[in-house]
Amino acid sequence: MSSTDPQELPSADELAAMSREDLVKLGAKLDGVEIIEYPDPFPVKGTRAEKRAERLVALWFLLAAVAGLAFAGVFLFWPSAYKAPGTSGYDLYSLYTPMLGVTLGLSVASVGVGTLLYTKKFIPHEIAVQQRHDGGSTEVDKATIIAHLADAGTRNGIARRSLIKRTAGIGAGAMGLGVGVFALGGLVRDPWAQTDSPNSLWHTGWQHKDGEKVFLRKDTGDPEEVVLVKPSDMDAGGMETVFPFRESERKDHEALSAALKRSDNPVMLIRLRPEDAAKVIKAQGQEDFNYGDYYAYTKICSHLGCPTSLYEQRTNRILCPCHQSQFNALEYAKPIFGPATRKLAQLPIAVDEETGYLYARSDFTEPVGPAFWERKS
């Protein structure tokens, strides 16, 4: 436009008197655009081909709507309470997150495909050559481009394609449900419900029930073989991975197996060397969580939940292999390197005087893994 001689521009009166088609042509000319082809996609209205194209676009928008509603249905009604692998209901529970992803993904993709098809089928496939120019747009530019857009709208017939308009509205609306769920879902489905349920995210498998002691158990590879831990079983500087065990579940194959599989159950039991034990700094309020030189920390990394499976005896560091976070076992497992910002949760332990086995005095009292509990406050 900046290259156009102002003498060639129409006056305000001339501009107001021009038809939309004239304005389109003028706009192209003033922009140095040579329109080579500007075909109407369906010059004869109401043909079978046009109706077919319209139905195809509408079908995708309808699919978006169905998938969006399915997403809402899955979010509201699919069983989402945690089930350990191998327990009844696990198969359905394990599909919860994938189903949310599939339905929302299908809804978004369908809106995208519908929009693409609409553009391909109904927007005139203009072929034009345009010169580049610098600077902002003039009033003439603005008037002509608006006319151009309005003309394209008329030619692609969106005003009279009510099937497409309605299905696009329904599809986009249902897809928008997915976005709404993130903001409003918590009002419909309370994530803080089931606080006392064993499946609540507030508890791990170390939760105490009916006053029964929860012992520390090794995993021998056989769920039926219960091997509990006595302090004398471990050498100084040693580490053992342990899981919860209740005497009442000794004959319950499903419970025994589930305890070994539940993701927030694994605990790293560390026996510090005597010379290191003297240097320990304890977390406030957790001064009695250890039993002598024995400290029990969750194996679930506070960064993104990987297993912190390495304990380096020489440096007393607990390492997470995922993103290299390191925690100091001598200072309440606080992070000293890497992306983790919170300490590893510590399990309070003691020795059962009757049997001599180590047991957990309670469930964890702080968040295990990524900070779910902290989000409430």
List interacting residues with ligand FES (CB under 6 A): 301, 303-306, 320, 322-323, 325, 338-340
Torsion sign, CA atoms 372, 293, 271, 350: negative
Q: Which is nearer to ligand FES, 86 or 305 (CB)?
A: 305
Check: CB of residue 247 under 8 Å from CB of residue 209. no
Task: Give the span between the Cα atoms of 298 and 296, in whole angstroms.
Answer: 7
Strands of 21-179 (E only): list them.
33-37, 127-130
Short-list 249, 323, 283, CA closest to 84: 249
State the DSSP string of 199-247: TSTT--TT---TT--EEEEE--S-TT--EE--GGGS-TT-EEEEEEE-G
The structure tokens listed for 143 are: 């008037």
Kindly state the smallest distance separating residue 351's Cβ from ligand FES, in Å: 31
The structure tokens 């603005």 sit at 142
Kindly state the smallest distance separating residue 263's Cβ from ligand FES, in Å: 13
Kindly state the smallest distance separating residue 321's Cβ from ligand FES, in Å: 8
Kindly state the smallest distance separating residue 1's Cβ from ligand FES, in Å: 54
Q: Which is nearer to ligand FES, 93 or 297 (CB)?
A: 297
Q: Which is nearer to ligand FES, 18 or 306 (CB)?
A: 306
Bridge-based pairing of strands 334-337 and 326-328 is antiparallel
Q: Which is nearer to ligand FES, 228 or 268 (CB)?
A: 268
Residue 241: is it exposed, middle or buried by C-beta count within 10 angstroms (0-12/13-18/19+)? Answer: middle
Q: Which is nearer to ligand FES, 160 or 323 (CB)?
A: 323
Kindly state the smallest distance separating residue 210's Cβ from ligand FES, in Å: 34
The structure tokens listed for 332 are: 């309440």
The structure tokens 């002598």 sit at 292
Q: Which is nearer to ligand FES, 81 or 306 (CB)?
A: 306
Kindly state the smallest distance separating residue 86's Cβ from ligand FES, in Å: 25
The structure tokens listed for 267 are: 């605990």
